[in-house]
Amino acid sequence: MDWNDIRFFLTVARTQSLTKTAAALKVSQSTVARRIGALESSLKTRLFAHHQTGYFLTDAGQDVLHHAEEVEGKILALESHISGTDMRPAGKVRLATAMTLASHLIIPALPRFNARYPDIVLEVITGINTVSMSRHDADIALRLVRPEQLSLKIRNVGRIASAVYGSKNYLEAYPATDIATQQGRAFITWDPAFGHLPSAKWLNEHYPNAASALVTTSLVAQLAAVKAGLGLAVLPGFIAAQESELIAAIPADRVFTEDLWLVTHAELTASARVRAVADFLVEIVAEAGLQ
């Protein structure tokens, strides 16, 4: 059995499309079809059912997928181990993190990183819900949720405190008649689909009847709304500190704090390029006062 056939199989299984697989692997659609056909012939079973909406795994395909992912994990681990023995801080490093951390903490510091390590090409991947460290989608991650995989090296590098903020003009225009309840003020709230977020859960628990000035689906929108003077919002302190017009209406010690986790693969601890990125992340976290 050819490993390349398994690679094609895994990509089709994940994209459910020959076209997307061809684009991802930089080959023609006919090549993808031929590879899948070769794998099905070698296994003497049909792996996909083809519908108008895409390619879907058969029961046999689901079984093959489980084993193929195990093979993929071992091959990627081997590749990472070999590349990780390189002691020069050079090469590509894939960093997975939240959009908030990328935009307000990491990317602003990258000119200094690039000057220090000109031979490292950093790829910043946001939308980490779709990023799997166990599948080696990323070499290193900076996360607000602690991963459960025992094979990963996990380190607590800081804490992010959040508070309720409003613009100076808004707080002056709408003085709270009751500081505890923030009576007389409205909040920027989250769409119900984002109710799992810590800031949404805290607001729903402590101010369930608060008036909503605007419903949003991103922290970027919440920050913009607060700066525009629309109301109050729960924001990370290190972001609010970058905006001189924002003032804490409810201090961080009355809101919540989240741990910040640095995650790497154990086999990459000897990699100079990954270690350089890890050390730099710890450095900028400390500079932002998050330790």
Residues 6 or more apart in contact with residue 269 via CB below 8 angstroms: 84, 153, 275
Tell me what the pLDDT averaged over the chain comes to.
88
pLDDT at 150: 63
Per the listing, tokens 């795994």 go with 57
pLDDT at 265: 79
Classify residue 164 as exposed, middle or buried by CB count within 10 Å of its CB (0-12, 13-18, 19+): buried
pLDDT at 132: 59
Interhelix angle 3-15/29-43, rounded to 10 degrees, is 110
Share of the chain above pLDDT 70, in %: 88
pLDDT at 105: 95
**Distance, CA of 118 to CA of 14 (rounded, Å):** 35
Nearest to 267 by CA among 73, 68, 83, 69: 83
In tens, the pLDDT along 91-127 reads 899 999 999 999 999 999 999 999 999 999 999 998 6
- Asked if pLDDT for residue 133 goes beyond 60, the answer is no
Residues 6 or more apart in contact with residue 281 via CB below 8 angstroms: 95, 106, 140, 142, 157, 262
- Asked if pLDDT for residue 149 goes beyond 80, the answer is no
pLDDT at 145: 86
**Distance, CA of 203 to CA of 213 (rounded, Å):** 14
In tens, the pLDDT along 260-282 reads 999 987 767 668 899 999 999 99
- Asked if pLDDT for residue 134 goes beyond 60, the answer is no
Given pLDDT bands bounded at 50, 70 and 90, which one contains residue 136?
A: low
- Asked if pLDDT for residue 129 goes beyond 80, the answer is no
